[in-house]
Structure 1
């Protein structure tokens, strides 16, 4: 019977491991998002322990992108694993009780009659270990009946598609059950609200902008959160594998200094008036402002300028480089009429790194990095990103750009190519 019980626990643990392997996250990263110890999560996945409640298992399944069918199967296996562990403990307790408490009366008792205490007319109580076994069975049955009916309503993090098209609305922030607030008007009168300016408009106070969430003094109710609940930063001068990148510059080689270090690329490119040639890699770091989860719902691309490729000379920052690691990224073809950000797998020495698929959760403790690979052959394109978010019933969109300006990428096909010869300390013609 112990083998059957072990099989129940191991089958439950095996499904946990299969779900975990779908992600590129370590046990530590997953445990942090689940608010549990890394060793505890590892014991669950190894079959050394079974969680007493299904809530952490449900959160784990959602984080790993389990389908509704997989969540239902996970719950069934969890019920069996819990029951198996409880039966195992009860059997051990019974064996221990039998060893230390031999029967005081060798005569058998009549079937169906409780044991009698000679000093008392009342029947003796049922042994504690039998009562426990009955309670365990009742608890497992109750859990099964209470949860099976609700599993069909479990959230599915993959319900929304990850491919997006251009938005028709401008960046926005909306509140539930309330009209959209206009920036020229404070949401509510307050002693701290400044007086109207000369043009009659009112500037919102710090509370109105949502930079701080403080309890309201009215009726003892907390003030609803306002403002954007996340922060972001973007670096558009990321080089392929840390060394490969092309810039188109309208200057002859004699006026172009040697390639910079990758960390100095932004300053070097701005000084030269350089434009990304053929490819722009943008690394966007997104983080919540508090421990409250913010869901990144969708990532969209908006092209705001399109013209013929820029004239000039193409300068390669490397003379051929490569690496064994290709991070996962969002692929964008700027030559499309309506470019979209499509999640793409990465690769680490032949091991696939699963693509990041939205929706995705971030918080102050769990930032996330999005890598966008935008390419063009036929245009000089100006573009930016729109990132949709939701948190605590509110939704909004932030614009991700190059410090207030659109990103810019130009095709470099047909241009003269130069690479830097470190031995000659000069730019020399180079053929791809």
Structure 2
């Protein structure tokens, strides 16, 4: 019977891969139980996102158990799971050490480790257990793959010197540049206030921005270039401001109070209305019934920068584009209210006012106050933010949308946040018949709050 290590090089490879993959599989199971991404977990663990992803994919094994222990704590692992994780980590480290020994004993000068992974002499110092890149007993003459690496390096160095020589020969231009004076997004994409946008949520909508330079000024300030397309040496070393809106957003307007309570107004009798959906299917259910938010609309807005450059969210405004008295319809309440110990911080909007504004409001977590979000606020690709807007009305059938002002690297602009190119709609429910779904009778029954 062969041992766990196997017999020969192939058995060592198979055993090493099995031990490492078992360890990685447990890491993935713990990660999948959370609602956090690799980036969010990596920031809490003070490591690179790519490093954490390599651990969970089985491409690397940490040499220290401390980050694994912190990872287990973030994923709320049980004591039994932590013991199992420690056991599998020990086996995975030992497997990598066996692979390292097998690679050292390889006499044919193969450029791969015993576990089949390529050996890279420029591996970043992430504290990983990897195979020794120098095969034991190598002859004085470098192997073919090392000679090819030297030739490639020499070719790259020659091309780099030639490029630097070309750039240094170009004339300097100290005049103004177009990138120095650009503000806001492309003015050709500006849409008048109140016009529905054809774009869906999830990408920044074109919006009114601050004025951009005239065409003549842009031509005068454009950087000089050579026939080959290269810019001046100063321009090459300058970080240019990106064009367009530097952030992305998505909006979910079917958020229920405490995750379980909401009212919809539907112009159909109870016999034609299906049972209430789970919260995650609310948008599809409301769309199929042409339902309108009754008395309250809660919108969850996710905002994130496109790059690591900070984008400052300066202001959030409410624009009412339609206002009338509510009439007709039947109110269908998703339940009789469930309440909750957690109330997130949000922006409160009173649509009954002539000029409604978004006011920051505190949240509450079991009696502990959650401070309201105060604008301005910074976001980037690594630091997204979620804004919750709670809009209410008692006597209005209101159509409205939001405007979010931003600034970044000297540029300013505004994005319009709406419902897939249409305004949001919220209407009062006072005096309308109300129904709640009785699960035992499997039908809608009259509800008197």
Post-superposition offset of 1:415: 0.5
Partners in 1 of 2:214 and 2:396 — Cα distance? 38
SS at match of 1:314: strand
Of 179, 189, 194 in structure 1, the residue corresponding to residue 213 of structure 2 is 179
Q: How many pairs are equivalent?
A: 245
Post-superposition offset of 1:331: 0.1
SS at match of 1:264: helix
Q: Which runs of 4+ in 1 moved over 3 A?
A: 187-191
Distance 1:180 1:241, change over 3 A: farther
Matched, 1:286 2:303: yes
Post-superposition offset of 1:226: 1.6
Structure 2: give runs of 5+ residues left out of the alignment. Answer: 1-38, 49-192, 195-205
Aligned residues of 2:306 and 2:380 also touching (Cα < 8 A): yes
Aligned residues of 1:173 and 1:394 also touching (Cα < 8 A): no
Partners in 2 of 1:343 and 1:32 — Cα distance? 27
Post-superposition offset of 1:275: 0.1
Give the match for residue 409 of structure 1.
Answer: 426
Structure 1: give runs of 5+ residues left out of the alignment. Answer: 1-27, 38-166, 192-215
Give the match for residue 237 of structure 1.
Answer: 254
Give the match for residue 375 of structure 1.
Answer: 392
Distance 1:217 1:259, change over 3 A: same
Matched, 1:324 2:324: no
SS at match of 1:267: helix
Of 296, 301, 312 in structure 2, the residue corresponding to residue 295 of structure 1 is 312
Partners in 2 of 1:370 and 1:224 — Cα distance? 26
Post-superposition offset of 1:181: 7.5
In the superposition, the TM-score normalised over structure 1's length comes to 0.53
SS at match of 1:263: helix
Post-superposition offset of 1:310: 3.7
Aligned residues of 1:419 and 1:429 also touching (Cα < 8 A): yes
Aligned residues of 1:174 and 1:180 also touching (Cα < 8 A): no
Distance 1:378 1:243, change over 3 A: same
Partners in 2 of 1:251 and 1:267 — Cα distance? 17
Distance 1:190 1:315, change over 3 A: farther
Q: How does 1:57-206 map to 2 (within 5 A)?
A: 171-174=207-210, 179=213
Distance 1:179 1:375, change over 3 A: same
Give the match for residue 153 of structure 2.
Answer: none
SS at match of 1:266: helix
SS at match of 2:349: strand
Distance 1:181 1:301, change over 3 A: farther
Post-superposition offset of 1:190: 12
Distance 1:336 1:217, change over 3 A: farther
Distance 1:172 1:189, change over 3 A: farther
Post-superposition offset of 1:309: 1.0
Of 332, 345, 366 in structure 1, the residue corresponding to residue 362 of structure 2 is 345
- Root mean square deviation of aligned Cα: 3.2
